[in-house]
Amino acid sequence: MNPWRGLKNIPRNVWLVTAATLINRSGTMVLPFLVIYMTTKIAVSQSAAGMVLAFYGAGALITAPFVGKLSDKLGSLLVMKSSLILTGVVIILYSFVQNYYAILVVTLLWAVISEAFRPANLSLISNEVKPEQRKTAFALNRLAINLGMSIGPVVGGFLSAFNFSLLFYVNGITSILAGIFLMISQIRPRKKVRSEKKEENLIFEPAITQKQSLSILKDKTFLLFMLALIPVELVFFQFLGGLPLYIVHDLKYSTATFGILMAVNTVLIILVEVPLNNAMSHWDDRKSLALGALLCAVGYGAMVISQSLVLIVVTIVIWTFGEMIFFPSSASYTAVLSPQQRRGEYMGYFQVTFSFSLMVGPWLGALVLDHFSSTILWSGAFVLGIISTILFLRLNNRSAKFN
């Protein structure tokens, strides 16, 4: 049986958006090397470098709820095009900024513009596919992300050894090219229809009409879900904070080696994620989330005993499987919880947890590594992952009354 069979019915619009994502992500190399750039070229401490990532996360946090509603009103496609073009311009200009405090300001602006892409992207994909196709469609989108990320950071690792400024130029240009591709690809988003109302009854049968106008802050199930996401997302974002610092500064491996190690993650995702999520398409999202969080906890927690390249690769494989299960399931579950005409808004708030974790996680990891030890960092990562696992299982029980 063909494990990729679920892709054949994915709509053309999703494939085009996925192609734009691939173009953009193939040049993503500034963010993965940002803490190393700050410590080596700007010559700040690890904690100060982590603060730059915290500012990026703050910008993403500011953007997420606003851009979700904006996508519902103006259209996801327009938001995505604008985000890509403007992001490219800002990243190129970023390379000319040398003052630390100016870098913080520009980083905030970069994040506000760049992270507008995510909720709009998730909203468009949610509306273009049938409910049973969502995990596969989200996995396809992540396939494009990670296929690009198997190129960007690896190339960035070698470019950084030659000239760090090249990372900014390549990253900016590919973002602009992705925006141009969306402009010329003639995507016509599917109109929202009321006939999909029954999909929302898959989990929450009662009060669907009530939920159309219900404030998200009163949607207790969604709030509990967002709360459960945060601990494991804090762990996941150590690949931007604690992990590169630990591998490059503590274990003394080169930036090129780090780029290759990250390619293990992305290549595995390219080969496995779509078939895996196609096979798990009928799993309860909440059980998938718990399993993904558990694997993430074990993978990052095992870094406490991993110093050789072989052991590091093993830990990366473990948390990558967690990532492959967790992220498509979290987006799919958000789509299930959200009324169709407010999907962008819900995706925006879902993105809030992602942005908060991006703001806090890398900075916290760098801070713990700088002031305490790698043992404390990776042990804490294990504990946070387990907390999310338990909360997802609790979400299953708490949600029973809505079935």
Q: Residue 396: what pLDDT?
A: 53
Per the model's pLDDT, the better-predicted residue between 355 and 91 turns out to be: 91
Has residue 213 got a pLDDT over 70?
A: no
Q: What is the pLDDT of residues 218-276, one digit of tens each?
A: 778 888 899 999 999 999 989 878 888 888 888 888 877 887 888 788 788 888 888 88
Q: What is the mean pLDDT of residues 52-80?
A: 81
Specify whether domain 11-186+204-402 bears CATH 1.20.1250.20: yes
Q: Residue 398: what pLDDT?
A: 39
Show the 3-state SS of the chain.
Answer: CCCCHHHCCCCHHHHHHHHHHHHHHCCCCCHHHHHHHHHHCCCCCHHHHHHHHHHHHHHHHHHHHHHHHHHHHHCHHHHHHHHHHHHHHHHHHHCCCCCHHHHHHHHHHHHHHHCCHHHHHHHHHHHHCCHHHHHHHHHHHHHHHHHHHCCHHHHHHHHHHHCCHHHHHHHHHHHHHHHHHHHHCCCCCCCCCHHHHHHHHCCCCCCHHHHHHCCHHHCHHHHHHHHHHHHHHHHHHHHCCHHHHHHHHHCCCCHHHHHHHHHHHHHHHHHHHHHHHHHCCCCCHHHHHHHHHHHHHHHHHHHHHCCCHHHHHHHHHHHHHHHHHHHHHHHHHHHHHCCHHHHHHHHHHHHHHHHHHHHHHHHHHHHHHHHCCHHHHHHHHHHHHHHHHHHHHHHHHHHHHHC
Per the model's pLDDT, the better-predicted residue between 211 and 147 turns out to be: 147
Q: Using 50, 70 and 90 to split pLDDT, how confident is the model at 192?
A: low
Q: Give pTM, 2 decimals.
A: 0.69
Instruction: Point out the least confidently predicted range of 15-29, 46-60, 374-388.
Output: 46-60
